[in-house]
Structure 1
Amino acid sequence: MKQNTFKAWCKSGSPWIWMNAGAVSIAVVMTLGLLILIAVRGLSHFWPADVIEAQYRIPGQESLIIMGEVNSREEVPAARLAGAGLPVDAENESFMERQLLKVGNRDLYGADFRWVVGEWLENIRTPEDIIVIERREWGNFYGYLTDVRQNGEVVATGADAWPALEQAMDRALAIYDDIQQLEKSDIGRINSGLERVRLQERGYEMRNELTPELEAALEAERTALNNEYAELEQHLMGLYQEFNRDSLTARVSDGREKEINLSKVVRAFQPNSMTTLDKIGHYFAKLWEFVSDEPREANTEGGVFPAIFGTVLMVLIMSVVVTPFGVLAAVYLREYAKQGVVTRTIRIAVNNLAGVPSIVYGVFGLGFFIYFLGGSIDSLFFPEALPTPTFGTGGMLWASLTLALLTVPVVIVSTEEGLTRIPRSLREGSLALGATKSETLWKIILPMSSPAMMTGLILAVARAAGEVAPLMLVGVVKLAPSLAVNGNYPYLHLDQKFMHLGFHIYDVGFQSPNVEAARPLVYATALLLVAVIALLNFSAVAIRNHLREKYKALEN
């Protein structure tokens, strides 16, 4: 009886329903777990951890004072430590705790991180006057503030040093912003203008059109730009003199003192004396710096804004290119092409293109777009710039077109499915009322299939935004702080190389010389890439749902 009941239950299909539900549940749990892991390890990096100071006493050696942040802890076999040359009694000890301390001061110690045995740390304390200095070079500095100086002369010591440092830091950061504005905006505009004048002059010379009048006009424009540059240069030199005026002296744990110019400092704070509200404010300031600033220290410090901007702009350009081509190809295959062997072969080829490895598209983009098409464009339209290539090298345009080729099969298949779902009666009714085939297509068929087009675009964006391999061949670079959109003519520089979040993750995670410092940024950047892709997809989903509701009445 029980056996018959079990067979009936199996025949009802319930086991498959439960299996599918279980598989979906496992996939959801694994996805959420991965996102939580990335979020915890990435976002915790920006929290200002307390800095400890302790005596590190290795058996048989003289003790020393060590200072730093506890980055991680782990239990390791004592035999493993003994094999590394440490004086560990492996016979009486099975496991021992070791801690990874971020000791900073790379210019003094040679490394930012140091492994220590937890049992050998004594007299652990967290003095409130320990100062953490984030520098533009050489990473963090940990120590005690000794004095603040102006032009080499001490202006504050002891209890007055910290307030004086805060005031000097505000002044230095304000000057730094002015310098960045001058160098990137004003001087950058002048350099762009001088280059434009040079190329115009060379173009006239190559075409034998350089008359004395044109030469005089170009020289007058060049002189005006040089005069403006000279004024800005004088102003910039004055700012740098003011910028380099202030400095601080700090003492490290071994008693050595180090003078640090405030022009090299991003921020200074005392984490052990900060309240919870102070730490929350510091956390969000660091988080904002991460999403709005440029990278520094071989991409292991600073922000990733150029990578965010490059990723979003590339996806938008790719979407503008892939959507019309994919839709037109699908409309032709479904509405105009004669359904036969050739059409079926084309559909099979399109479906197979979706499975081609992405690096193959990168090689095609390098050979066709950059070497052939870009080289031809340079020869025809930019001969005055040669041998320096303009479009004959990797850039935003070629990367976007390469990813458009990569994702166009997805748009074609999705749009074709949408066109197939349109009832034949709507086509016939439109034609019966006197509309032409093109009018039926543009006013009824395409609007009603627009949700399917948006579905294809969503899938295309999801795939393109995370691709890295083809981009390494067609335009992405490790560091490109200059954005492809700026105030210099022609404002949108599609020939410019760019940064990408996916490549940034690869570079920081596998090419960084400072692995321990780079690890939390890999998690943070991965979480940011997921958020960018989700935001792009949610925007497309919202448009698709709006279109679906708009044309639902016609379908019914």
Structure 2
Amino acid sequence: MSTANAASKEAKAVRRYTADLSAVGEPALWGFGGALALGIILICGFLLMIFWNGITTFWPKPIEVVTLNSGQKVAGEPSRFNVYRPEGGFLAGLPAEIQQQIADNDGYAERTLYRIGNYDLYNEDFRWVNTFDVANVVRDPAFYYLERQEWGPFVGRIKSVIIDGVEQDPAALGLSRLRQEQVAARARFAEIRKIERSDIGVINHELNQLRLGLRRVELNSGADSAEYRAELTRVEQRTAELQREFDRLQAQANEIKARDARYRIVLEEVGGNTKNTQLSQIVRFYPANDLTVFQKIGIYFSRWGEFLSAEPREANTEGGILPAIFGTVVMTLLMVVVVAPFGVITALYLREYAKQGKVVAMVRIAVNNLAGVPSIVYGVFGLGFFAYTVGGSIDALFFPERLPNPTFGTGGILWSALTLALLTVPVVIVASEEALSAVPRSIREGSLACGASKWQTIRSVVLPHAMPGIMTGLILAMARGAGEVAPLMLVGVVKLAPELPIDGFAPFIHLERSFMHLGFHIFDVGFQSRNSEAGKPMVFVTTLLLLALIVLMNSSAIYIRNRLKKKFVGSQF
């Protein structure tokens, strides 16, 4: 009997510990947790890569002068290190001892990518240098890194400086005096650009307005009318006055240019070739191998200041991106201003007023399907409907004198914002409907019982309680709209638009103009520049800035949403 009891207990123990794992759920739990951990690691790794590459882009690097075994010299900033496998005829053409070294290293060799600059002399910005070709590497304090207005950076020595037409030795002149002269030269450069862009630009604008005004009179009254002849006389008189002012400003600019041409700098690259350029073309320069930590910090923040406040130069791979920042922020905010009322009103009608049935169900299905339409389709629709149809009609009605040149009948920041509003409005509608349905029915009934009308209940009770959920939809719409690029390429974004759509001419804010966008700027620099390696640092730093702007705008919306949550803490929000 005792033996039978022991066997029974053993059988129960076996049954207790041999339960099916699918019933317990442990594999699924570990799988879900592992997937979550992997996703977090990938996202954090991506953000860390963007942050590190972006934050270190503007830090000044040393210049290495590399002497090769052949006696040739290469000077530049070490950009990155690489291990590769030499193959084919290249490996066969190497000396026997180097082939043996590569064979001992499992067939791999090491090399360093140097940013040599001097594109106008070398016709390339970067050069790979194999480690086995290097005879010597030094960091010569006489080498400078010079950022130029055109042709990219120059890496080399300062051979001589011409001050007011007199050539001087840079060592005798001193670095401090050279910086003073360079700052003065940049001031002359800025003054010339102000005259040519602002002062002469005002004259050109008025001349164009006179031409358009005369054309409008011709269209309204005819070229043989008295009104046209009187307007023609006035236009000719005013044009003569403006031409005199134009000649005066042009002479003033030419005088500054002639004075600026007497201040030049002669640069010498590592091989001895020289480059003579105006001192005003040097944006920034420094002895890369003779900098203190505080000087490096100063250069670092100077580059950040230029990046955030200046316009692009050198095919968008250098300089600043202020027009792209402005275009991205204005377009996103304009999109939110448009999408918020349309999305919320549509959600209110579907949830509070429309009779629930097949028609409303079909509308909801259509709205949900619109969220999955490719963004480029919205771009094609925006170009055809907003730009060509609506914009063309506006041009025909209000700007006939400008035709055939379009004003609103082409891509612009307004049409881009409306296109993205269409793209993101399904998100706002769905989120707003969910927020409205989450408002407790008892609150609505209490308001109605107190004598409030349906609209008063919606306006004063339902909408305030649903606002945190509505803000969630706007946050999602803002994040998606700020990062979209494909539709913008059709309805307004351009590679370079250095002038902001704000000026001193009525209507002062020109929403019909094309604009720059951070997302398109990343695409252009990363995939359409003449040298993708030269544009890579700008890609990382622009991506970092775009993420920062999205986080800033979303954080502002999240702050407002949290304030609303605290206000209605008793509700489901």
Q: TM-score, normalised by structure 2?
A: 0.91
Tell me the distance in 1 between the aligned counterparts of 2:504 and 2:471: 33
Distance 1:98 1:430 in 2: 75
Alignment RMSD: 2.3
Residue correspondence of structure 1 range 176-195 to structure 2 within 5 A: 176-195=189-208
Q: Tell me how far 1:480 sits from its aligned partner.
A: 0.6
Tell which deviates more after alignment, 511-520 or 319-328.
511-520
Match of 2:210 in 1: 197
The one-letter code of the counterpart of 1:467 is E
Shift of 1:222: 4.5
**Does the 8 Å CA contact 2:438/2:572 hold for their aligned counterparts?**
no
Map of 1:72 onto structure 2:
80
Helix, strand or coil: the match of 1:138? Answer: coil
Which moved further from structure 2: 403-412 or 427-436? 427-436
- Tell me if the contact between 1:51 and 1:68 (Cα under 8 Å) persists in the aligned partners: yes
Could you give the per-residue CA deviations for residues 334-357 of structure 1, whole angstroms, max 9, x where no partner exists? 111110000000000000000000
2:51 aligned residue (39, 57, 70): 39
Provide closer, same or farther for how the CA distance between residues 197 and 549 of structure 1 changes in structure 2, counting only shifts above 3 A.
farther
In structure 2, distance between residues paired with 1:445 and 1:217: 62
Q: Secondary structure at the match of 1:90?
A: helix
Question: Counterpart amino acid of 1:33?
Answer: G
Query: Which residue of the other structure, out of 94, 99, 102, is the alignment partner of 1:90?
Result: 99
Which region of structure 1 is more displaced relative to structure 2, 414-423 or 218-227?
A: 218-227
The equivalent of 2:371 in structure 1 is 354
Shift of 1:477: 0.6
Q: CA deviation at 1:263?
A: 2.4
Partner of 1:338: 355
Residue 517 of structure 1, aligned match among 534, 553, 565? 534
Give the letter for the 2:32 counterpart: N
Question: Could you say if the C-alpha distance between residues 320 and 358 of structure 1 is closer, same or farther in structure 2, counting changes exceeding 3 Å?
Answer: same
Structure 1 counterpart SS, 2:406 = coil
**Residue in 2 aligned with 1:401?**
418
SS state at 2:221 partner: coil
Pairing 1:547–2:559 present: no
- Alignment equivalent of 1:253, drawn from 266, 270, 279: 270
- Within-5 A mapping of 1:267-282: 267-282=284-299
**CA shift in 2, pair 1:95/1:14, >3 Å:** closer
Q: What letter is aligned with 1:160?
A: L
- The residue that corresponds to 1:145 in the other structure is 158
Tell me the CA shift for residue 102 of structure 1. Answer: 1.2
Structure 1 residues 157 and 348, CA gap change in structure 2 (3 angstroms): closer
Q: Distance in 1 between matches of 2:502 and 2:95?
A: 59
Distance 2:65 2:447 in 1: 81
State the match for 1:26 in structure 2: 38
Map 1:105-504 → 2, pairs under 5 A: 105-208=118-221, 210=227, 214-215=231-232, 218=235, 222-223=239-240, 225-504=242-521
The answer to whether the 8 Å contact 2:260/2:278 transfers is: no
Aligned residues: percent identity? 47
For residue 197 of structure 1, report the CA deviation from its aligned partner: 2.6
3-state secondary structure, aligned to 1:266: strand
Kindly state the Cα deviation for residue 205 of structure 1 after the two structures are TM-superposed: 1.6
Change (3 A) 1:81 1:330: farther
Asked whether the 8 Å contact 2:468–2:562 carries over to 1, the reply is: yes
Letter paired with 2:443: L
Distance in 2, Cα, partners of 1:475 & 1:85? 53
Relative to 1, partners in 2 of residues 1:385 and 1:135: Cα closer, same or farther, differing over 3 Å? same
Instruction: Quote the residue 1:49 is aligned against.
Output: 61
- Is contact 2:188-2:260 (8 Å) kept? yes
Taking the aligned partners of 2:363 and 2:113, their CA distance within structure 1 comes to: 58
Q: What SS does the aligned partner of 1:154 have? A: strand
Q: 1:533: how far off?
A: 1.1
Change (3 A) 1:227 1:311: same
CA distance in 2, matches of 1:185, 1:20: 61
Residue deviations 1:55-102 (CA, integer Å, cap 9, x gap): 111xxxx41122111111112224368259655743552222111111
Q: Give the 3 Å change call, closer, same or farther, for CA 84–139 of structure 1 in structure 2.
A: farther
**1:328: Cα distance to partner?**
0.7
**Residue 154 of structure 1, CA deviation:** 0.6
Distance 1:400 1:530 in 2: 19
In 1, Cα distance between equivalents of 2:312 and 2:304? 13
| Distance in 2 of aligned mates of 1:333 and 1:52 | 68
Q: For residues 270 and 478 of structure 2, what CA distance do their matches in structure 1 show?
A: 51
Aligned equivalents of 1:46 and 1:152: distance in 2?
34
Please state whether the residue corresponding to 1:200 is helix, strand or coil. helix
1:377: how far off?
1.1
Aligned to 1:404, the other structure's residue is in SS state helix
Q: Distance in 2 between matches of 1:84 and 1:470?
A: 51
Encode CA deviations 1:219-275: one digit per residue, 9 max, x unaligned: 565455444444433332233223332111122211222212112211111010101
Contact 2:312 2:320 in 1 (8 A): yes
Q: In structure 2, do the counterparts of structure 1 residues 271 and 547 end up closer, same or farther at CA, with 3 Å as the change threshold?
A: same
Call closer, same or farther: CA 1:228–1:547 in 2, change over 3 Å: farther
What TM-score, normalized by structure 1, do the two folds share?
0.94
* Amino acid in structure 2 at the alignment position of 1:63: G
**Cα separation, 2, equivalents of 1:6 and 1:231:** 98
For 1:48, the aligned partner's letter is P
1:51 partner letter? I
Alpha-carbon distance in structure 2 between the residues aligned to 1:3 and 1:216: 108
Q: Distance in 1 between matches of 2:302 and 2:15?
A: 66
* Cα distance in 2, alignment partners of residues 301 and 464 from structure 1: 26
Contact map agreement 1:69 1:101 (CA 8 A) in 2: yes
Report the secondary structure of 2:254's partner residue: helix
**2:525 equivalent in structure 1:** 508
Q: Specify every segment of 5 or more residues in structure 1 that has no aligned partner in the other structure, as ranges.
A: none
- Cα contact 1:133–1:269 (8 A) shared by 2: yes
Instruction: Compute the displacement of 1:405 (Å).
Output: 0.3
What SS is found at the alignment partner of 1:387?
A: coil
What is the CA–CA distance in structure 1 between the aligned matches of 2:348 and 2:208, rounded to whole Å?
A: 46
CA pair 417-224 structure 1, distance change in 2 beyond 3 A: farther
Distance 1:102 1:2, change over 3 A: farther
Q: Is the 8 A contact 1:145 1:161 kept in 2?
A: no
Residue 123 of structure 1: SS of its match in structure 2?
A: strand
